[in-house]
Structure formats: structure tokens, C-alpha cells
Chains A and B, each alone.
Chain A
Amino acid sequence: MTAATELHRSDTQKAIEAVWRIESARLIAGLARMVRDIGLAEELAQDALVAALEQWPESGVPRNPGAWLMTAAKHRAIDVLRRNRRLARKHQEIGYQLEAEQKAVPDFETSMDDPVGDDLLRLIFTACHPVLSAEARVALTLRMLGGLTTAEIARAFLVGEPTIAQRIVRAKRSLSEAAVPFEIPRGPGLAARLSSVLEVIYLIFNEGYSATAGEDWMRPALCEDALRLGRILEELVPREPEVHGLVALMEIQASRSRARIGPSGQPILLLDQNRALWDQLLIRRGLAALARSEEITATPGPYALQAAIAACHARARTADETDWARIAGLYAELVRLAPSPVVELNRAVAIAMAHGPAAGLELVDALRSEGSLENYHLLPSVRGDFLFKLGRLDEAREEFERAASLTRNSRERDLLLDRAQKSRS
């Protein structure tokens, strides 16, 4: 093989990866509707990908690569179902159904066109099913809907590839053991299932936005994956206010990416950020998503409330112009809706900004005596900040040192130790 053809091959391979990224979710979703098993659907889609990797370097990328992959996967589905005697009559019926479907609709593009949205939605709800652990849901969602390879997911979460592969295999098994139907939940169950989906997307975003471990403070690719999933979901369920709320929250948080890391990789806190570096395009998108959410409902859910808080910061031209009273009010609503010590801690920060550090310290001390945030580094970090502002430097230093010993992120630890150093009187 000459260098030129080798180069050509690797170009085609990259092109195939790009097609896969775009088409795989729809492909798996369409196949899952037919075979009613997302594990099998994914294998069939993978087989089609292998066929593409074999054939496209010779034949070139087809004009409609999505339809090509679907046809290849369907043929493969029929082969598998015919040959595999172990599969019971149920599958045989599906095989016949598949053949009938292929004869009836030779134009796969049109056959795929209409129910695609619903298929994708079914796939999202299945991959994010509450029978699975949060970790498993995250891995499955990135793999099936984000089009990420196992290796890419492993790299993103700083774990070994076999760990992720195992996680995905087990997740698929759990889904079939629990006989989770491939469907869109309706009625009263919908809200809980949707919140499970939103939780997964936000987990992915947060792992990218403030990495819980490792050297880097941010892993932007994961944020982008989460945003892409959120934007897709917005298109699929445009009448769900919390979906818009979550997208708004992620867009506005992502708008600060450039400003929250200094040139040498150190984190820069919100109020110290150079707001000229905030991404106005993402802020605009976030505010628009928040407006969509507010148009649908007058009683915002937890994501919309958090987005509204983020929007307060986004709208303030300088840190001094921040409407802390409004933010404290939004946090109070959030505490009512979804009580959590972390939210209460954030409320304490807002109250301290609005009414002074002593007011904030009172709330934080109440939280501290409650004990639920004992090992959460932000509690001593916030408390240290209030004490520092009150001039109680020795106590502040102790808190910053304690916070530094609790965080798992090395960049954050440096920042906290630096604050401890500055508290030396």
C-alpha cells in the first residue's frame, strides 16, 4: 500500500467515524423498535459499521450514509434472526415482520423519517431507565445516544476501558432481565422517568464542568456532549419546561468556560471572572431556553430555577451589579422544591452577599451542626470565606485547609491552599 492510499484510508475512516457520530443514535433507535432489545440493536448497528469500514474505503462514502447503514443493519438483523434457532418464536415473528416491512417500504429514508423522533425518545428513556445505576445510565447514554466509543467514555471518566465495557454489558443485561419495554412512558410515570433522563444529562455536564477528580479542572468535550444531548431532547419534547430549564442552565454555565480557567490552568471563581470572556452566544442561547421554559409554566422546576439563578449572573455586567436579593429568593424557592444541604449552602452564599457575611455564617453554622455535609469540601470553603471577610483569619485558615484536604481535584486544592496561605495574619 502506498502512503497516499494509506492516507486516503485513514481519511475515510475518520469520515466513517463522523457519519457514525451523526447516525448511530437514530440507527440504534430504529433497530431497537424492530428487535425490541437495545443491546441487540446496538450489536446490529455495530455490524453495519464494520461493513462500512470494510466497504467504504473502496467504494467511497455513499450519498446517503444513514440509509446505507440502516439497510446493512436490517439485512444483518434478518440473517441473525433466521440463523439463530435459540431465539424463540417471538423473534421469528419479528423476522417476518422485518422482511414484510422491507418489501413494503423499499425507501428506508421515508420509512425512517417519521417515527424517528419517537424512536430516539424511546432510546433515551430506555438508556436512562431508573433500574440502572446512575453510572450505568451515563455510560449507556453516551454510548448509544452520544455516539461515543467505549474508549472515549473511559478517557472522559478517567477509568479503564474494560471498566466501561463491563458497565455497558451489565447495563444491557439489567435492562433485558428487568424486561424494560422499549417505549415512551406515559401518564403519571412520565415525570419521574424524564427527571431520570435530565439527571443523566446534567451528570455528564457536571463531570465535564467541574471534574471530580484528576488534573484538569474542566473537560469541555463532556460539557459539549451533554449540551448536544440536551438540545436534541429539547427538539423531541418541546413542551417540557424542565428540559428547556436544564438546557438553559448548561448553556449559561458553559458560557463561562473561557473565564473560569486561568492561563496556567487554575480555576477562577465566578465573581473574580473577567466577564468580557463570557461567551455571549451561549448566554443568548441560555436566556432564550429559559424564556421557553417560562413560557410553558409559571411554576418553574429545579432546573429552571437554577437556570434563573445563572441568568442573574449572566445579566450582571459587573460582579457588583449582581442582584443577590433575587438570587437568595430563587434559592429559597429551590430549597422549598428540592430541599438539599448543598442548595442551602448556596443560599447562604447569596444571603451573605446580599446582607453581609455574618448572616451567611449563621446559616452555614446551622448546616454544620446538622452534619450532613461533613465531608463536602465546599462547606469549609464557604465558611472560610465568610470568616475571612469577618476578619477571623485563624479560623478562616483552618477551614480552607480542611476544605483542601477534602477535595479530590488537585487544581481546586491549590486554590484552597492559596486562600489558607492568604489567611495568615
Chain B
Amino acid sequence: MRFMMLMIPKGYEQAAPGTMPDPKAVAAMMKYNESLQRAGVLLALDGLHPPSEGTRVSFSGGKPKVTDGPFPEAKEVIGGYWMIQVKSKEEAIEWASRCPASDNEVIEIRQVHEMSEFPPEVQQAAAGLRGTGKQ
């Protein structure tokens, strides 16, 4: 099963555009990432630019509305993620616990939906996403 570990650094919601991570923290994080890789559990990972450089598209009233960051109402924002493949949620928790995160950081662990979990009608709807497959 797959889990996404979402890194939520407190304060990142207000970080200025162009904010770069601290080299020391990056070095420690690289070691951690390597340990995930060596254990064969890491599928993907990425770090994200601060929300002050981001844009939100909202759909109130059925119409897309574009708002540039920063977003004053956001209390928590995502700074990056890891996608891992493990045997259980507990294993994901164990891996997250080993992260050399700092005081202001939180990791949220979320399981990725598998197709097989969906009821047949949802699977049908997903399979209806044809067009690229052979008819």
C-alpha cells in the first residue's frame, strides 16, 4: 500500500517568495531520503515553492476564480511530500518518525486510494475514462 507523507512546515504559509531551505537541514534530509531509498520504500518525493509564489483556483458559484498567493487564511501549508510503498500504516508512521524534522514541522500521513477499494460503480466510472485505450 502507498502512503503520502505530507510535510507541513509551520511558518511556510508566510514565507517570502524565493525562500530557500537551510543547507544543513537539506543535508540531514538527504540522508533520510537515502535511507528510504535503500530500504526500497521510496517511490517519489518533491519539495514545493512557498505558497506566496502559488496560485489558488476556487470554484465558488461554479466558476473558476484565480487568486495569487500568499493566502492569509491558510494556517497550514504543504512544503513537500514523499510517496512511499509499505506494508502497513504503522510502517509509514515508523518511517515518518525517523525524519530529521525540526520543531516547527509536522508530517501528515495519508493513505493513497487503491482502485480495488472503490465500489464497482466507481470503478466503472474510472474505467469509463477511455479514449486512450483500444475500444
Tell me if chain B binds chain A.
Answer: yes
CA distance A373 to B109 in the complex (A): 49
CA A65 to CA B98, docked complex, whole Å: 10
Do B133 and A319 have beta carbons less than 8 Å apart?
yes
* CB <8 Å contact, B134 and A272: yes
**0/1 string, A223-244, CB within 8 A of B gives 1:** 0100111111001000000000
Known contacts A274-B133, A276-B130: A235-B40 contact under CB 8 Å: yes
Main SS at interface, chain B: mixed
> Cβ of B40 and Cβ of A232 under 8 Å apart?
yes
Task: Select from chain B the residue with minimum beta-carbon distance to A233.
Answer: B40
Given A263-B127, A274-B127, residue A22 in contact with residue B94 (CB < 8 A): yes
Is A18 a contact partner of B88 (Cβ separation < 8 A)?
yes
List chain B residues, Cβ under 8 A from A224: 1, 85, 87
Contact of B43 with A281 in the complex, beta carbons under 8 Å: yes
Complex CA–CA separation, A232 to B34 (angstroms): 11
Q: Which residues of A contact B123 (CB under 8 A)?
A: 263
The chain A residue with its CB closest to the CB of B42 is A231
Chain B residue nearest to A258 (CB atoms) is B115
Chain A residues closer than 8 Å to B61, beta-carbon distance: none
Q: Is A89 an interface residue (CB 8 A)?
A: no
CB < 8 Å A-B pair total:
88
Q: Which of B95, B115, B120 contacts A277 (CB 8 A)?
A: B115
Q: Is the CB of B133 within 8 A of A227?
A: no
Q: What is the distance, in angstroms, from A146's C-beta to the closest C-beta of chain B? A: 9
Interface string of A271-282 (1 = CB under 8 A from B): 111111100011
Q: Is A285 an interface residue (CB 8 A)?
A: yes
B40 and A15 within 8 A (CB): no
CB within 8 Å of B: which A11-54 residues: 14-15, 17-19, 21-22
In this assembly, does A262 line the interface, its C-beta being within 8 Å of a C-beta of chain B? yes
* Cβ distance A200 to chain B, nearest Cβ, rounded Å: 15
User: A317 interface residue, CB < 8 Å from B?
Assistant: yes
The answer on a CB contact under 8 Å between B129 and A277 is yes
Does A177 have its Cβ within 8 Å of any Cβ on chain B?
Answer: no
Q: Are B132 and A276 in contact (CB under 8 A)?
A: yes
For residue A231, which residues in chain B have a CB less than 8 angstroms away from its CB?
37, 40
Q: Complex: how many Å from CA A264 to CA B116?
A: 10
B91 touches A18 (CB 8 A): yes
| Interface flag for B106 (CB, 8 Å) | no
Cβ distance A232 to chain B, nearest Cβ, rounded Å: 4
B44, A281: Cβ atoms under 8 Å? Answer: yes
Identity of the chain B residue whose Cβ is nearest the Cβ of A251 in the assembled complex: B43
Contact of A285 among B43, B127, B130 (CB under 8 A): B43
Task: Please classify how large the interface on chain B is, using the bins under 10, 10 to 19, 20 to 34, 35 or more.
Answer: 20 to 34
The contact string, 1 if C-beta is below 8 Å from chain A, for chain B 29-43, is 000000001111101
- Is B107's CB within 8 Å of the partner chain A? no
Contact status of A17 and B115, CB under 8 A, knowing A264-B120, A318-B132 = no
Minimum CB distance partner of B44 in chain A: A281
Contacts of B37 in A (CB 8 A): 231, 235
Cβ B126 vs Cβ A277 within 8 A: yes
Report how far A264 CA is from B126 CA in the complex, Å: 14
User: What is the distance, in angstroms, from A313's C-beta to the closest C-beta of chain B?
Assistant: 12
Q: Does A114 contact B (CB under 8 A)?
A: no
CB distance from A119 to the nearest CB of B (A): 13
Tell me whether A263 and B134 are in contact (CB under 8 A).
no
Contact A19 B120 (CB under 8 A): no
Q: Which residues on the B side are within 8 Å of A271 (C-beta)? A: 134
B124 at the interface (CB under 8 A from A): yes
- Interface-centre pick from B39, B87, B115 (highest chain A CB count, 10 A): B87
> Which of A15, A273, A276 is B129 in contact with, Cβ under 8 Å?
A276
User: A285 to B130, alpha carbons, bound, how many Å?
Assistant: 24
B48, CB-defined interface residue at 8 Å = no
Residue of B nearest to A317 (CB): B132
Enumerate chain A residues within 8 angstroms of B99, measured Cβ to Cβ: none
| Binary A-proximity of B75-92 (CB < 8 A = 1, otherwise 0) | 000000001011110110
- A54-90 vs B, Cβ < 8 Å mask (1 yes, 0 no): 0000000000010000000000000000000000000
User: Is B90 a contact partner of A273 (Cβ separation < 8 A)?
Assistant: no
Interface string of B91-135 (1 = CB under 8 A from A): 101110000000000000000001110001001101101111110
| Chain B residue with the shortest CB-CB distance to A25 | B39
Mask, A248-283, CB within 8 Å of B = 1, is 000000000011011110000001111111000110
How long is the Cα–Cα vector from A287 to B20 in the complex, in angstroms?
31
* Shortest CB distance A414–B (Å): 17
List, sorted by A's number, 9 A–B pairs whose CB atoms are closer than 8 Å.
A21-B86, A220-B116, A224-B85, A271-B134, A276-B129, A276-B133, A277-B126, A282-B43, A285-B43
Q: Chain A: residues with CB nearer than 8 A to chain B?
A: 14-15, 17-19, 21-22, 65, 117, 147, 220-221, 224, 227-232, 235, 258-259, 261-264, 271-277, 281-282, 285, 317-320
Known: A21-B87, A276-B130. 8 other contacts (CB 8 A): A14-B88, A14-B90, A18-B90, A227-B40, A228-B40, A277-B115, A277-B126, A318-B133
Closest 5 CB pairs of A and B: A231-B40, A18-B90, A319-B134, A274-B133, A228-B40
